[in-house]
Amino acid sequence: MAVALIVAAILAGLGLLAGIAPSAAEPNNEFVACGPALFGRPDPLPDPACADAYAPFDTEAIVLLALFAAALVFLVLLVASAGRSARLARRRRLAAGGCPSGPPDPAADPGPRLTR
């Protein structure tokens, strides 16, 4: 479970870094700062050449953030199934009479009596 949490955190961090990566273009040998690749992208674009400058980072950010979401869903399902398994095991133990959850009931049968 800890591994899934670490993987999810790494994917989220990489996705955010790729999304805020600055981009630039050089149309006609003139430098143009295009801004972040995904988060906070300027609208309208400073130059039409900026649309191609975002290319690798915006796609990578979306893919990494989608993988992060999938890792979180996996983690939630893992925790839910562990909780369900624990509840089922406790019910089985109680049904078998293994682990009473409170003080003994005096009205219940005390068990076999020793007679002479």
* Number of domains making up the chain: 1
Q: Is residue 39 part of a domain?
A: yes
The verdict on residue 115 lying in a domain is no
pLDDT band for position 79 (50/70/90)?
A: confident
Distance, CA of 40 to CA of 45 (rounded, Å): 11
Tell me the average pLDDT across 37-55. Answer: 82
Any bridge partners for residue 85, and if so which?
none
101 assigned to some structural domain: no
Please give the model's pTM, rounded to 2 decimal places.
Answer: 0.62
Alpha-carbon distance 87 to 81, whole Å? Answer: 10
* Domain region containing 70: 2-95
Strand boundaries in the chain, DSSP class E:
22-25, 32-36
Could you say which DSSP state residue 70 is in?
A: H
Residue 75 lies in a domain: yes
Yes or no: say if 38 and 19 are a contact pair by the CB < 8 Å rule: yes
Question: Is residue 59 in a domain?
Answer: yes
What letters, b where the CB count within 10 A reaches 16 and e where it falls short, cover 26-62? eeeeeebebbbbbeeeeeebebebbeebbeebbebbe
Q: Which is more confidently placed, 2 or 109?
A: 2
Percent of the chain with pLDDT over 70: 84
Using a 10 angstrom Cβ sphere, with 0-12 exposed, 13-18 middle and 19 or more buried, the burial of residue 7 is middle
Is residue 63 a part of any domain in this protein? yes
Specify if 100 maps to a domain. no
Chain mean pLDDT for the chain: 81
